[in-house]
Amino acid sequence: MLPQRVIEQLIDIVGESRLLFEADDLQRFGVDRTTLWQAAPCAVVLPGTVEEVQSIVRLANQCNLAIVPSGGRTGLSGGAVAKDGELVVALDRINQVIDFNPMDRSVTVGAGMITGHLQQFAEEQGLFYPVDFAASGSSQIGGNIATNAGGIKVVKYGMTRNWVAGLKVVNGAGDIIELNKGLAKNNTGYDLRHLFIGSEGTLGLICEATIQLARAPLESSVMVMGVENFAEIVDVLTCFSRDLDLSAFEFFSQQALDKVISHRGHTEPFKTETAFYALLEFEHSSPDILDKAMALFEHCVDVGWVVDGVISQSQSQAKNLWKLREDISGTLWQWQPYKNDISVRISRMADFLEDVDQLVMEQYPDFEVIWYGHIGDGNLHLNILKPEAFSVDQFHSKCVNVSEEIGQLLAKYEGSVSAEHGVGLLKKDYLHYSRSAVEMDMMRSIKRAFDPNYIMNPGKLFD
């Protein structure tokens, strides 16, 4: 419970209507898309300016109040969960286009801007914001930056990190800091912008961002291919990416496809059923690109990697093929899946996939496991579905064991326990499989420098 004195001070800062205590608000703003924790913030505050954010952080420092920054709450690792009486600071109202200059091809926006709105704004300017993923209709730019969101175009365009030219943040001590100011080149000491990107709200609040925009993409084609085993997906990837500038290379299993088709009413890409499907996309950078893609496809069939396939003949067909992949995440929610978002180098992918598959099949034969992911980035989403008979707690404690074993495999393969979803609450126990003790020490020292009273998103990333 917030002391009356603090409530009054918060109302002084933001106004009464921007401080929320209703149970459904606390519930809504207190969780992300994970289902393992109960929302229990003390209140939700909705500042409208960077200065209001600063005042809130200073007040929180004075009364030792923990803050959970809140964006679109589409996170998958509990990074935005407020379960211990924290004050949720939601950036929703700081969501405007602040500055746009076509010469710079960059736009400064409030951190609360919805990703899809930024994509749309870019399109209206004849430009392109290339970070895209299933939740872009409700995720916010600030949250994307705080978690360095990835998605489906990383093969060509990289992660959110690549598109951040400047940040205005309030650190845990309540200082407003402007980082990099939208400059293309700026070698003036440590790049603190890159520290904030992916810091999951533990160093401060991202309030505004200057985002670099890309040139509008060319028309593209989508190809879906049926493949019988893991290793061959990597062969297909290697074959295509050697000769073609891919903008996406995704994969999903037959089980994933089955679920999407039966729950979303999509149609199969082709009649032949195979264990796995690769989906790739490429832009039409030259007129002979389609011939080249078809030749590669035929080669993959000839050597026996690919069983069947389809290439989009129109933009609407391309969209429909994408839905087979993009709707997986949303479809699986009803089974309260336990998500492993892991990565290794492409060259180690085939061996790693084999090892993980064997591990899961042997040790957890009663679990339904759904595979899909951004294989072009070495990124695998291993979803374990909750059997109806299991309670959430039972299921979670069983999954923790899976994660430990996968963590050990990842350490062996020098991979990452969180490729793109971040660490939050969900993965912090496994962080040591990807980051050394020395790195953890360095991270804690950095945390102390930016957030001396440890009020920013405590318990996330590390304890």
Q: Which of residues 21-50 bind a second copy (CB under 8 A)?
A: none
How far apart, in whole angstroms, are the C-alpha atoms of residue 200 and residue 146? 5
Contact between 124 and a second copy by CB under 8 A: the answer reads no
How far apart, in whole angstroms, are the C-alpha atoms of residue 323 and residue 317? 10
Q: Which stretch binds a second copy (CB under 8 A): 35-43, 192-200, 264-272, 305-313?
A: 192-200
Query: In the range 235-254, which residues lie near a second copy by CB under 8 A?
Result: 238, 241-242, 245
Contact between 117 and a second copy by CB under 8 A: the answer reads no
Contact between 427 and a second copy by CB under 8 A: the answer reads yes
Q: How far is the CB of 434 from a second copy (least distance, A)?
A: 5
Q: By CB under 8 A, name the one of 23, 64, 190, 271 that touches a second copy.
A: 190
Q: Which stretch binds a second copy (CB under 8 A): 54-62, 302-310, 320-328, 444-452?
A: 444-452
Query: In the range 46-105, which residues lie near a second copy by CB under 8 A?
Result: 101-105
Query: In the range 308-367, which residues lie near a second copy by CB under 8 A?
Result: 343-347
Q: Which stretch binds a second copy (CB under 8 A): 13-21, 116-124, 158-166, 252-260?
A: 158-166
Contact between 374 and a second copy by CB under 8 A: the answer reads yes
Interaction mask 164-183, a second copy, x per CB under 8 A: -------x---x-xxx-xxx
Of 106 and 115, CB closest to a second copy: 106
Contact between 153 and a second copy by CB under 8 A: the answer reads no
Contact between 436 and a second copy by CB under 8 A: the answer reads yes
Interaction mask 290-309, a second copy, x per CB under 8 A: --------------------
Contact between 131 and a second copy by CB under 8 A: the answer reads no
Q: By CB under 8 A, name the one of 307, 431, 455, 456 that touches a second copy.
A: 431
Q: How far is the CB of 444 from a second copy (least distance, A)?
A: 9
Contact between 187 and a second copy by CB under 8 A: the answer reads yes
Query: In the range 376-415, which residues lie near a second copy by CB under 8 A?
Result: 377-379, 414-415
- Report the 3 state secondary structure along the chain: CCCHHHHHHHHHHHCHHHEECCHHHHHHHHCCCCCCCCCCCCEEECCCCHHHHHHHHHHHHHCCCCEEEECCCCCCCCCCCCCCCCEEEECCCCCCEEEEECCCCEEEEECCCEHHHHHHHHHHCCEECCCCCHHHHCCEHHHHHHCCCCCCCHHHHCCHHHHEEEEEEEECCCCEEEECCCCCCCCCCCCHHHHHCCCCCCCEEEEEEEEECEECCCCEEEEEEEECCHHHHHHHHHHHHHHCCEEEEEEEEHHHHHHHHHHHCCCCCCCCCCCEEEEEEEECCCCCHHHHHHHHHHHHHHCCCEEEEEECCCHHHHHHHHHHHHHHHHHHHHHCCEEEEEECCHHHHHHHHHHHHHHHHHHCCCCEEEEEEEHHHCEEEEEEECCCCCCHHHHHHHHHHHHHHHHHHHHHHCCECCCCCCCCCCCHHHHHHCCCHHHHHHHHHHHHHHCCCCCECCCCCCC
Of 161 and 323, CB closest to a second copy: 161
Q: Which stretch binds a second copy (CB under 8 A): 16-24, 34-42, 85-93, 148-156?
A: 148-156
Contact between 122 and a second copy by CB under 8 A: the answer reads no
Contact between 115 and a second copy by CB under 8 A: the answer reads no
Query: In the range 214-233, which residues lie near a second copy by CB under 8 A?
Result: 215
